[in-house]
Each structure stands twice: as structure tokens, then as C-alpha cells.
């Protein structure tokens, strides 16, 4: 049986793109300062500050995703995969697994499905959050392995305009530390899980403001519609702030956190 031309060309393009985004990871990452805890995070308010993001036309790029169950289900940010002709999880320097995509209608979230089962990350979507607590961001900023740490500032509201429109509550974080030698935008970290000190998912990286040193994440209340309820029963894997890059490397090596490839023809 003759192999369709589109499959051949798609595979070649995917290999080229995967090799083009190959990079190494510097394991020496400065630890963040101790958290300065404040009050409990208040509930949503009409006075919450708005963050406006304009979504341009789709183009090939990379992002981050993470496993949420043991049946091949991953989550990422909607803007990472919306409008892509092909979405794949990167398995190695020149290998990728094609994923089916389900977009959240009113959130910067998306579900990816494949038969590739990995151990899911635990989550804590109901627990109280505290101003000043640490959030850990593990993924592929700038298309290469990397991580960052932020301090929780408060609630904001994300307004996405342009190619599609959504509006939802988000959490705002002030960046404290990141992978050594990485400057500028954290683009490519979109879709990464936000983990608390107990190693539990409390959000998804949705946007950033490099000039202000801000990272914004999908609020836990939104993720409750997509992450299985039994996720909170999984064993905790507490994060050591002095060695958080080691935790990040472990998650990536186990492919519990993986790079997403978006191809637009």
C-alpha cells in the first residue's frame, strides 16, 4: 500500500522541527529566597485586574504539557495547540507522538490524548492558597528544558482576544528565580504545570509579562473541570526549593512533563 504524501512530508517536517529545537540544560539554577507569606488568597472579585492577551494567527511553535491521568491524557494551554495542523509530544531528539486535541471552550486549557501512558502529576485544586507562597514552573522555556519559581501575588482576570475570545480567572506570580543563563521571555513554558511546595498541580502557565517579571496561570477552579477528582489522592512529591531543577529534570526524563510540538502547514 502506498504511503500518503502528506504523511511522508509531515514526518520530515516534524523531524526537522524536533532537531531544530534541540538544546541542553544547565543544571545549576539559583534557589529562590524564602517565601514571605501573607494573607490567604481572597476569592474572585469584579475589581480583579485584567490581563489582555491578543492571540495572533497560528504558526508552528513549541510549548509544554503534563500528564493528568494514567490513560494517555495530557494538559496544555489552549493557545499552544489551537489552530495547529499537527500536534505531537516530543519523545526524543527526532521522535514525536501525534496527539488528538480537545480545546476548552472558555479557558486557556486543552486536553491531549494518545495511547502513551505515563504516571500523572498529583493536584490540589481545592486547597487554600497564600499570598507570597512559591509556585514552581517546570517545562521548556525558549524551546529547551528549564524552570522558574514565582511568588503568588493575587488574582487577576485573563481576557484573550484576537483569533478566539475567552475570559477566566487567573493567578499572578512574581518571578523569583529561573534557569541560569536564561534571559528574556519564557515563551515555550506555556502549558506547563504550576506546582506548589508539595509538588501538586495548582495551575497551567497561560501568559507572561517579561517587562514586569510576571507569570500568569489558569486558576485551580477552572482545572477542576478537566483533571480527574482522584488526582488529589496520589502520593505527594514535595519540592526542595534548593534543588527544584532536579525535580524538574526527573519529571521531564519520565515524560510526565513533555514538550508539545505545533506544526502549521
Average pLDDT over residues 244-264: 95
User: Chain-centre distance of CA 58, in angstroms?
Assistant: 18
Q: Residue 148 is part of which domain span?
A: 49-53+120-254
Q: Is residue 100 part of a domain?
A: no
Q: What is the CATH number of the domain that holds 158?
A: 2.40.10.10
Question: pLDDT tens, 72-111?
Answer: 999 999 999 999 999 999 987 778 899 999 999 999 999 9
Beta strands in the chain (DSSP E): 49-55, 61-67, 73-76, 86-90, 96-98, 100-103, 110-113, 134-139, 146-162, 166-178, 193-195, 201-209, 214-218, 257-263
**Cα dihedral sign, 43-44-46-47:** positive
pLDDT exceeds cutoff 70 at 237: yes
Total domain count for the chain? 1
Are the C-beta atoms of residues 142 and 185 closer than 8 Å to each other? yes
CA distance 147 to 2: 44
Q: For 19-73, what is each residue's pLDDT tens digit?
A: 544 445 555 677 899 999 999 999 999 999 999 999 989 899 999 999 999 899 9
Residue 146 is assigned to a structural domain of this protein: yes
Cell of 215: 507569570
Asked whether residue 205 is assigned to any structural domain, the reply reads yes
Global pTM value: 0.89
Residues 6 or more apart in contact with residue 42 via CB below 8 angstroms: 154, 155
Within-domain flag for 220: yes
Residue 159 falls within a domain, yes or no? yes
Residue 94 is assigned to a structural domain of this protein: no
In a domain, 138, yes or no: yes
Does residue 109 lie within any of the structural domains? no
Amino acid at each position: 500500500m502506498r504511503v500518503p504524501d502528506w504523511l511522508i512530508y509531515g514526518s520530515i517536517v516534524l523531524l526537522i522541527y524536533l532537531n531544530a529545537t534541540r538544546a541542553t540544560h544547565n543544571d545549576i539554577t539559583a534557589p529562590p529566597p524564602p517565601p514571605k507569606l501573607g494573607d490567604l488568597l481572597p476569592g474572585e472579585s469584579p475589581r480583579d485586574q485584567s490581563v489582555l492577551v491578543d492571540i495572533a494567527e497560528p504558526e508552528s511553535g513549541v510549548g509544554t504539557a503534563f500528564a493528568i491521568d494514567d490513560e494517555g491524557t495530557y494538559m496544555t494551554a489552549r493557545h499552544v495547540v489551537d489552530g495547529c495542523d499537527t500536534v505531537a509530544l516530543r519523545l526524543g531528539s527526532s521522535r514525536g507522538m501525534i496527539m488528538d486535541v480537545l480545546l476548552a471552550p472558555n479557558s486557556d486549557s486543552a486536553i491531549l490524548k494518545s495511547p502513551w501512558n505515563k504516571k500523572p502529576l498529583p493536584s490540589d485544586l481545592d486547597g487554600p492558597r497564600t499570598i507570597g507562597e512559591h509556585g514552581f514552573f517546570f517545562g521548556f522555556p525558549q524551546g529547551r528544558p528549564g524552570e522558574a519559581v514565582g511568588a503568588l501575588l493575587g488574582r487577576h482576570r485573563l481576557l484573550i482576544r484576537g483569533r478566539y475570545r475567552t475570559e477566566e480567572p487567573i493567578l499572578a506570580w512574581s518571578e523569583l528565580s529561573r534557569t541560569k543563563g536564561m534571559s528574556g521571555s519564557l515563551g515555550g513554558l506555556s502549558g506547563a504545570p504550576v506546582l506548589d511546595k508539595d509538588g501538586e498541580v495548582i495551575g497551567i502557565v497561560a501568559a507572561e509579562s517579561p517587562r514586569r517579571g510576571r507569570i500568569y496561570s489558569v486558576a485551580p477552579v477552572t482545572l477542576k473541570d478537566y483533571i480527574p477528582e482522584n488526582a488529589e489522592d496520589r502520593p505527594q512529591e514535595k519540592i526542595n526549593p534548593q534543588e527544584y531543577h532536579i525535580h524538574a529534570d526527573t519529571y521531564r526524563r519520565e515524560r510526565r512533563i513533555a514538550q508539545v510540538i505545533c506544526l502549521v502547514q
